[in-house]
Amino acid sequence: MTATLNLKSPVVLYDLHPPLDDFRAEVLQGLRQPQKTFPPKFLYDKRGAELFDAICTLDEYYLTRTEISILQDNAAAIAMLIGDGVLIEFGSGSSQKVRILLDAMPQLATYLGLDISKQHLQESCNRLVADYPGLEAIAVCTDYTQPIALPDIPALRHKHKVGFFPGSSIGNLEPAEVVQFLRNVSVLLEPHGDLLIGVDLKKSKEILEPAYDDALGISAAFALNALVRMNRELGSDFDLNNFTYTAVYNPIGRIEMYIISLMDQTIHLGDQELEFRAGERLRTEHSYKYTVEEFQMLAAAAGYGVKSVWTDPEHLFSLHYLHLI
């Protein structure tokens, strides 16, 4: 792995983006399952990332504004816990939330952003460096849901490392996968690192379903963009007019997002043929919801203890500050 430095950008980029063959193989594996699935990490090409940013501003989507409120209310306490360590953000996105922490931590010298969308990641890191003079930003384009071996980056040596994983992306994983992900993260944070992570809490389907299927149809556009990306990058021939979108609550404790085929149809993906029946559903992602206690049990199984946890007054969302035991 080599680092690249764009002379027009002060941000060093390490490009570990999965190759196109990996994208194709994972997509085909999901589409051949009895319950067709699409790997949710691949929803975030540049257009997907932009659409998700738009979702975060919607009235129905309580998650972003609630987590931001929690961060703002507790920024000083979080800053005290982090100290002068290195902040490592998983899924940097638009970096809106990390700015709350940076505002409260003028002493922080190094930020490392991990994201699968390279262009979005670079743009976000460039803006952070411009807005926070003296901050070193390092960008690593990678699938952070898999084990990551970072290079020997001098700015990370002998530093207290703190992971930051905001939002509800942890809910995209099955509970057993949550434990494995947290263990993978612990390797990056060792020997005595911490993790600040956002976890959506359990609530009624009357709140959840509109949050993931909004009246303006931006959530639908976000999901259907997966078909656009497959057409562009994998040579498939999905016709978006032949599909619709829905989000439904599953009583096992998760919200599920589906693209639905409106007719019997055959899709070509390169030399592969994929049959869709009328009404058949392709699951683009799901998001588990937890109680505070349920999530802390998963964290404990992965080797973490709890330093603090914060929630909003309505108990919609939670923010956990964990430490390696």
Following DSSP, what letter does each residue of 240-270 receive, concatenated?
GGGEEEEEEEETTTEEEEEEEESS-EEEEET
pLDDT tens-digit series, residues 69-102? 999 999 999 999 999 889 999 987 667 899 999 9
In terms of phi and psi (left: phi > 0; alpha: psi -120 to 50; beta: otherwise), the region of 85 is beta
State both tokens at 156. 């990370």
Q: Where in the chain is the domain with CATH 3.40.50.150?
A: 10-16+60-203+290-324
Q: What is the rounded CA–CA span in Å between residue 5 and residue 304? A: 35
pLDDT value of position 8: 54
Q: Contact at 8 Å (CB) between 244 and 224?
A: no
Distance CA 102, CA 115 (A): 19
Please say whether the beta carbons of 285 and 43 come within 8 A.
Answer: yes
pLDDT of residue 7: 41
Q: Measure the CA–CA gap between 249 and 89, rounded to whole angstroms.
A: 29
Q: What predicted TM-score, i.e. pTM, was given to this entire model?
A: 0.92
Other C-beta atoms lying within 10 Å of the C-beta of residue 87: 21
Name residues whose C-beta falls within 8 Å of residue 202's C-beta, 6 or more positions apart in sequence: 253, 289, 290, 291
Choices 3.40.50.150, 3.20.20.140, 3.40.50.720, 3.40.50.2300: CATH for 10-16+60-203+290-324: 3.40.50.150
d(CA 27, CA 236): 11
Low-confidence ranges of the chain (pLDDT < 50): 1-2, 5-7
